[in-house]
Structure 1
Amino acid sequence: MTSTTITPAASTDEQAVRRKRLSRPVAFAAIAAVFVTFTAASSAPSPLYVVYQELWGFSASTLTAVFAVYVVGLIAALLVLGALSDHIGRRPVLGAAIALEIVALVLFLAAGDVPVLLVARFLQGIATGAALTTLGAALVDLNPPHAPGRAGLLNSVVPPAGLAIGSLGTGALVQFAPGPTHLVYALLLVGMALAAVVVLLMPETSSRRPGGRSSLIPKLGVPARLRGAVLALVPIIVASWALGGLYLALGPSVAVGVFGLSNHLIGGLVVTLLCGTGAVTAFALRTWPTPRVLTIAGALLTVGTAVTLAGVLTESVVLGAVGTVLAGIGFGASALASFGTIALLAAPHERGELFAVALTIAYVAFSLPAVIAGFAATSVGLHTTAVVYSTVVVVLGVAALAAQRLRRT
């Protein structure tokens, strides 16, 4: 008797909740906006590193440690949590990631010394790693049937676009607004609160299936049928994200130490020139054949980095800016070809794990060389470090072009 009175009520409540859910087209757009918010938050501290150095008087090695702990948290999350949403659903993982990001942003607001900054950046890395793979997979799940490549395009465009928005926005706020180490985090907290509402109202796109606990065991798996396609993308992913790591970790410092540009807006613009150009390029080339896009990526990463290197050697701001824009075109073309290909290849139950594989490769390339460069900058100087790092990226770009040619033949 009791069950007959509770069941209809529960059923009615469940139906009411379902009616409040966002439609799939609205959810697709909202998840894209959440994706931008997370990537913008991840790059927001970059222009502030110079400010923190001035306030607290720490070395380039300490700055590198702050960058490194973020990447350690991010890669750990990719390895451990990358496939979790394939088993327990997208909404629970996104909800947890947003909650942890909010904790990190509160710590950024309260930070008065390096240890708190380190903890905040580490927690932000975990939150970002958990969110990126899940957001990418959710976009593919919600992809409109009439535009099968749209999710792949957004997975290519959003990361560089978000990085550009976060860096430029923070640079502008630091230069022109009050509270340079607080205002940006307060604004991001508002963004994360809105993201929580989106996740609360979005439809669940991944049904629960067994294996959630075992998926937490770190592993990188690529289905046998996809290994050839994924391996062919590795060289260009490594080349492009290694360059991105240099810009996000040391770009504003190079602008000050090598080119003598002390304006904080310009410090943010350094990252934006690379990432913003990359986002525009990914959108502009969205209909081009993948082999052609890969060739453009390898060629312009190589040429652009070489021109930037010439700018560093001659201390020419113009050459440095032109080279960064050219390299940014290569960066965007690489993101389009690699993540767009993965979005189209992966089956629904493979999406979270496959995006985790691709992002792990990207962020290892993004972080390890940049961390080494940061410690090197303390001992040999920013100028020498930038020259050596740029030379390595040029070599990687040539290797990516060679790998593509071998794959085609």
Structure 2
Amino acid sequence: MTAVAARPTAAPARTRAWVPVFAVMFLCTWSGNQFSPLLLLYQQRQHYSTAAVNGFLGVYVLGLVPAFLLSGALSDRFGRRPVMAAGAAAALATSAALTFGESGPWMICLGRFLAGVAVGTATCVGTSWLKELSQPPFDLGADAGTGARRAALAFSLGSAAGAVAAGLIAQWGPWPERLPFLIHVVLAAPLLWLVPRAPETVTTGGVPGPLRSRLRVPAAGHRRFTRVVVVAAPWTFAAAGLGYGYLPVLLAGVTGGLGIAYATLLTAVALAASALVQPWAKRLDALDSARGLLTGVAVIVAATVLVAVAVHWHSWPLGIVAATVSGAGMGVAMVSGVLEVQRIAGPAGLAGLTGVFYAVAYGGFLAPTVLSFVAGRTGVAVPALLLGLAGVGVVCGLLLVRSYRRHLPSR
């Protein structure tokens, strides 16, 4: 059978074994979020409609979901290194494709799809790998939540760095539709050298069985996962999609020529808030409650209301507040969700269940695409739709309150 085990080694030489994996996650998530502040650029220069640019966000999810569902199981079977190397290669291919985004929407769609593959692989496999490298014998000073915090921090910082770099260049730099992606290619190329140098944590013994058996994730049927984690998970990245993906497009009329800079600012403040709340979010986590997830959903619902008010009032300062609250909710929900998954999953199934969690969570990233489509087809004002979405969030919160005590984690 396949088992996850840390190879014995001298502890002092391994206390920083997690750093290369952190770096890979950082630069892969950079590749995924560098596109977000450029939505307005494509809309202004290539005259794509609001529905089209939100469609580009949706293509990203098409790459994410299969990467989440497959990469974890594949890394449990074949090891973390080869699968993470494939994710790093996809990150490079992402920026290479987007460099030629001026060629038309199909090249942008290809780049966005590859970005989903890169981020999905790096997030799923990287979260599991960091958890394994953030415990003895690799890291004697880490506590039980260190791996989850490091993974969430790598995701938040990488996403922020990619968005800020691309946004600043797009607003004030040369070659705005090419240079951000060329810079990422240069920074990410060493990943192909770095990944093989991180310690492998998966060892294989005996007959592993057919691959299709590894693609099944039995822990995904755990009642705590289906009744608690799945209810909260989509709100994690709905917060991101609304707070710094959709909101800058909705407020483009009041930001004028600084729309790209404003989109970059919203992304930066949201992801900074996400990173800052993560140490506090760990303290919310508890074995006998779902207060971490419940808090995350409550904050995201409040942020959704703020987004609706900012759009209704055409207020860019309130938009900054809304993005900040969105980021805080995302950070709490992400850390709490990962900690829940790590308790529910066994060591051999950790990456697989992590992938399922993120696949469900990233479904929330489609919220702007759905809202834009419904608004266009029905004529209902976007603020009203946002308030309706907030109402759905309240219902999900009530379900969490009702369910969590009935379905305590088995581990």
Secondary structure at 1:26 match in 2: coil
Partner Cα distance (2:254, 2:299) in 1? 23
Partner Cα distance (1:166, 1:233) in 2? 28
Partner Cα distance (1:256, 1:404) in 2? 36
Cα gap change, 1:346/1:336 in structure 2, threshold over 3 Å: closer, same or farther? Answer: same
Partner in structure 2 of residue 125 of structure 1: 116
Partner in structure 2 of residue 303 of structure 1: 302
Does the alignment pair 1:373 with 2:368? no
Partner in structure 2 of residue 74 of structure 1: 64
Structure 2 portions without partners, runs of 5+: 1-8, 406-411
Partner Cα distance (2:51, 2:220) in 1? 40
The within-5 A match list for 1:3-402 is: 23-112=13-102, 113-143=104-134, 144-147=139-142, 148-208=144-204, 210-211=208-209, 213-214=211-212, 221-222=218-219, 226-229=222-225, 231-257=227-253, 260=256, 262-290=258-286, 291-367=290-366, 369-376=367-374, 378=376, 384-385=381-382, 387-402=383-398
Partner Cα distance (2:256, 2:178) in 1? 26
Secondary structure at 2:282 match in 1: coil
The question of whether the paired residues in 1 share the 8 Å contact of 2:24 and 2:88 is answered with no
Q: How far off is 1:248 after superposition? A: 4.9
Partner Cα distance (1:171, 1:361) in 2? 28
**Letter of the structure 1 residue corresponding to residue 301 of structure 2:** T
The question of whether the paired residues in 2 share the 8 Å contact of 1:108 and 1:117 is answered with yes
The percent of aligned pairs where both chains have the same amino acid is: 24
Q: How far off is 1:31 after superposition? A: 0.9
Q: How far off is 1:230 after superposition? A: 5.2
The question of whether the paired residues in 2 share the 8 Å contact of 1:101 and 1:127 is answered with yes
**Letter of the structure 2 residue corresponding to residue 349 of structure 1:** A
The question of whether the paired residues in 2 share the 8 Å contact of 1:309 and 1:320 is answered with no
Partner Cα distance (2:351, 2:210) in 1? 12
Q: 1:205-253 CA deviation, whole Å, 9 max, x = no partner?
A: 1123624632575x554265x4325531222222232232234542331
Q: How far off is 1:408 after superposition? A: 4.7
**Letter of the structure 2 residue corresponding to residue 407 of structure 1:** S
Partner Cα distance (1:216, 1:182) in 2? 40
Secondary structure at 2:161 match in 1: helix
Bigger mean CA offset, 51-60 vs 136-145: 51-60
**Letter of the structure 2 residue corresponding to residue 146 of structure 1:** G
The CA RMSD measured in Å over matched residues stands at 2.7
Partner Cα distance (2:276, 2:301) in 1? 19
Partner Cα distance (1:298, 1:289) in 2? 14
Cα gap change, 1:149/1:61 in structure 2, threshold over 3 Å: closer, same or farther? Answer: same
The question of whether the paired residues in 2 share the 8 Å contact of 1:35 and 1:132 is answered with yes
Secondary structure at 2:381 match in 1: helix
The count of corresponding residues between Structure 1 and Structure 2 is 385
The question of whether the paired residues in 2 share the 8 Å contact of 1:46 and 1:252 is answered with no
Q: How far off is 1:380 after superposition? A: 6.6
Partner Cα distance (2:115, 2:325) in 1? 30
Structure 1 portions without partners, runs of 5+: 1-18
Q: 1:17-58 CA deviation, whole Å, 9 max, x = no partner?
A: xx9xx9533330221121121112101011112212222222
Partner Cα distance (1:325, 1:145) in 2? 35
Q: How far off is 1:402 after superposition? A: 1.0
The question of whether the paired residues in 2 share the 8 Å contact of 1:157 and 1:283 is answered with no
Q: 1:95-122 CA deviation, whole Å, 9 max, x = no partner?
A: 1221222222111113322121111221
Secondary structure at 2:258 match in 1: coil
Secondary structure at 1:390 match in 2: helix
Q: How far off is 1:259 after superposition? A: 5.5
Secondary structure at 1:287 match in 2: helix
Partner Cα distance (1:258, 1:221) in 2? 50
Partner Cα distance (2:220, 2:300) in 1? 29
Partner in structure 2 of residue 15 of structure 1: none
Cα gap change, 1:251/1:303 in structure 2, threshold over 3 Å: closer, same or farther? Answer: closer
Partner Cα distance (2:249, 2:305) in 1? 20
Q: How far off is 1:72 after superposition? A: 0.6
